[in-house]
């Protein structure tokens, strides 16, 4: 389904989406983030600071409550995500491509019921990048594209005063059908223009990971390379790169006690980060990844070697957030290229 939507009518479209919580990019405190929007949605954002991954994989997920009176058996009460549907507008193609990668992780081996319960209720309405929104975009070099529809339910393309709107999935068709009257059939000129815009988008120069298909083997051969520690020397071990990443999925599980007697509390999943020094530390004090070099290697190899080995594609979608936001200049493109270049 391909349609044309007058830019001025986008708010009417949103208004027609009853029962959907609409999330759109909002500029607040000098940063763009996805927030519930009612009435008006602005799609003139570069990319948001955080990816939309939190809708299916929130930073905090309560699994269950526990309660125990001394001398009695504990009582567990499951906490189940609500059934609210969310439609996220303005998802950039890199973040769209993050979605199937998260799906792979959370459905592999056994299905994660929490992720799945939320994921099935999220629709991703994408916005193609007519030009790279960041100087550190590199989607083309990791198999993506500024006009990729991967992971999206709907793809919108900005044609100046109107959007070219394409349904990618059945969910996407449903979203468009909910406001069918607002959409017009695209003319031959529209079709031509969208092709032109997409061609120009793809032609924009971007930074690049070189020969991404050769990278897994090169990283594998570089496990013991001294370059890792050299490249990670400035790393401060914070969680910016992973928390902002559209595909990082590592988490921690903890009991949070709210009352000691009677014992009351919750078991909670929270985002975690492989760059924290104690992420892999054993109870004995032994740490298989003891320095910043080993931890940077884990982050980079996970994206560019282990994930390709397990799922046949890089996990990185080239959004460039970890590069732009690193306070000390650690640059995943540079790291991958340097290590690959020096591989035995």
Partner 1 sequence: MINIQDIRETARDMLTKGEVRAVIGYRRGSRGMLAEPTFITSAEQADELVWDPTCFHNLSLYLVHDRKFLAHIRKNAEAPVAIVAKGCDARSIVVLMQEHYFKREDVYIIGVSCEGTGVLDERKLAKHLNGAQASNVAFDGGDFVFTTAEGEKRLPAREVMADRCLECRIPFPREHNIVFGEDKTGRQLEAPFAALTRFEAQGTGARWDFWSHHFDRCIRCFACRSVCPMCYCDECVVDSITFPVTTETTAEDKANRIRWIERSAVRSENITYLMTRAMHLAGRCTDCGECERACPVNVPIRLLNNKMEREAREQFGFEPGASIGGPSLVASFLDRDPGDFIR
Partner 2 sequence: MPHNIYLPELARIAYIKDEVYGERAIKTFRVEPVDGELFEHACGQCAMLSIFGRGESMISIASSPLIREYKQFSIMRVGRVSSAFHDLAVGDVIGLRGPYGNSFPIDDWRGKNLYLIGGGCGLAPIWPVITTAVAQRANFKNITVFYGGRTSRDIMYRAELEKLRESIDVHLSIDKAEEGWDGYCGFVPAAVMDKDPVPDNAIAITCGPPIMIKFVIQNLNKLGFKDEQIYTTIENKMKCGLGKCGRCNVGKDYVCVKGPVYSWEELKSLPEEY
Rg of the chain taking only CA atoms, in angstroms? 22
69 lies in the binding site for partner 2 (CB under 8 A): no
Give the nearest distance from C-beta 60 to partner 2 in angstroms: 14
Give the x/- contact pattern for partner 2 in 126-145, rule: CB under 8 A.
--------------------
For CA atoms 316, 321, 327, 328, the dihedral sign is positive
Stretch that binds partner 1, among 27-35, 64-72, 143-151, 305-313 (CB under 8 A): 27-35
Query: Pattern of binders to partner 1 over 246-265, x per CB under 8 A?
Result: ------x-x-xx--------
The span of 19-27, 168-176, 209-217, 282-290 binding partner 1 (CB under 8 A) equals 282-290
Q: Which is nearer to partner 1, 114 or 271 (CB)?
A: 271
DSSP assignments along 45-90, one per residue: -S--SS-GGGGTS-SEEEEEEEEE-TTS--EEEE------EEEEEE
Q: Phi, psi at residue 192, to the nearest 5°?
A: -65, -40
Alpha-helical regions (H) of 128-283: 170-177, 188-203, 215-221, 227-231, 240-244
- The residue within the footprint of partner 2, chosen from 3, 218, 289, 303 (CB under 8 A), is 289
C-alpha–C-alpha distance, residues 202 and 198, integer Å: 6
Using CB distances below 5 to 8 A depending on partner kind, what does residue 249 bind out of partner 2, partner 1, none?
A: partner 2
Q: Which of partner 1, partner 2, none sits in contact with 110, Cβ below 5 to 8 A by type?
A: partner 2
- Look up residue 79 and give its two tokens: 């906490």
Query: Which CB atom, from 175 or from 322, has the smaller least distance to partner 1?
Result: 322
Task: Select from 318, 114, 99 the least CA-distant residue to 209.
Answer: 318
Q: Which DSSP string corresponds to 195-225?
A: HHHHHHHHHS-----S-GGGHHHHHHHTTT-
- Residue with token string 């919108």: 156
User: Residue 53: what are its φ and ψ, rounded to 5°?
Assistant: -60, -25
Which of the listed partners (partner 2, partner 1, none) does 240 bind, with a CB threshold of 5 to 8 Å by partner kind? partner 1
Q: Which residues bind partner 2 (CB under 8 A)?
A: 63-64, 66, 68, 73-74, 76, 78, 80-81, 105-106, 108-114, 116-117, 223, 249-255, 257, 263, 265, 267, 269, 272, 274, 279-284, 288-289, 294, 298, 301-302, 305-307, 309-310
Q: Which residues bind partner 1 (CB under 8 A)?
A: 29-31, 33, 46, 49-50, 59-60, 135-136, 233-234, 236-240, 243-244, 252, 254, 256-257, 268, 270-271, 273, 276-279, 281, 283-285, 323-325, 327-329, 331, 333-334
């Amino acid at each position: 389904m391909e349609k044309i939507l007058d830019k001025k009518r986008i708010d009417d479209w949103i208004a027609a989406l009853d029962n959907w919580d609409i999330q759109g990019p909002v500029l607040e405190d000098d940063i763009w983030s996805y927030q519930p929007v009612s009435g008006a949605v602005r799609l003139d954002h570069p990319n948001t600071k955080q990816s939309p991954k939190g809708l299916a994989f929130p930073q905090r997920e309560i699994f269950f409550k526990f309660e125990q009176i001394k001398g009695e058996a504990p009582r567990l009460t499951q906490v189940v995500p609500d059934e609210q549907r969310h439609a996220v507008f303005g998802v950039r193609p890199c973040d769209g491509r993050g979605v199937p990668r998260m799906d792979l992780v959370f459905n592999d081996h056994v299905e994660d019921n929490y992720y799945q319960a939320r994921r099935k209720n999220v629709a991703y309405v994408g916005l193609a990048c007519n030009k790279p929104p960041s100087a550190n975009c590199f989607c083309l070099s990791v198999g993506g594209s500024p006009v990729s529809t991967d992971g999206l339910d709907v793809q919108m393309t900005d044609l100046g005063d109107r959007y070219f709107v394409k349904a990618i999935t059945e969910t996407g068709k449903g979203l468009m059908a909910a406001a069918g009257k607002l959409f017009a059939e695209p003319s031959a000129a529209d079709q031509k223009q969208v092709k032109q815009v997409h061609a120009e988008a793809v032609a924009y120069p971007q930074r690049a990971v070189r020969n991404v298909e050769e990278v897994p083997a090169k990283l594998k051969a570089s496990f013991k390379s001294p370059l890792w520690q050299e490249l990670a020397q400035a790393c401060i071990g914070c969680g910016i790169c992973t928390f902002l990443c559209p595909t990082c999925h590592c988490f921690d599980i903890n009991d949070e006690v709210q009352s000691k007697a009677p014992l009351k509390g919750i078991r909670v999943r929270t985002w975690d980060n492989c760059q924290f020094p104690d992420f892999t530390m054993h109870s004995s004090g032994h740490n298989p990844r003891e320095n910043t070099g080993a931890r940077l290697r884990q982050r980079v190899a996970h994206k560019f070697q282990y994930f390709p080995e397990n799922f046949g594609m890089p996990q990185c979608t080239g959004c460039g957030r970890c590069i732009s936001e690193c306070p000390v200049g650690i640059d995943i493109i540079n790291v991958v290229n340097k290590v690959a270049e020096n591989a035995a």
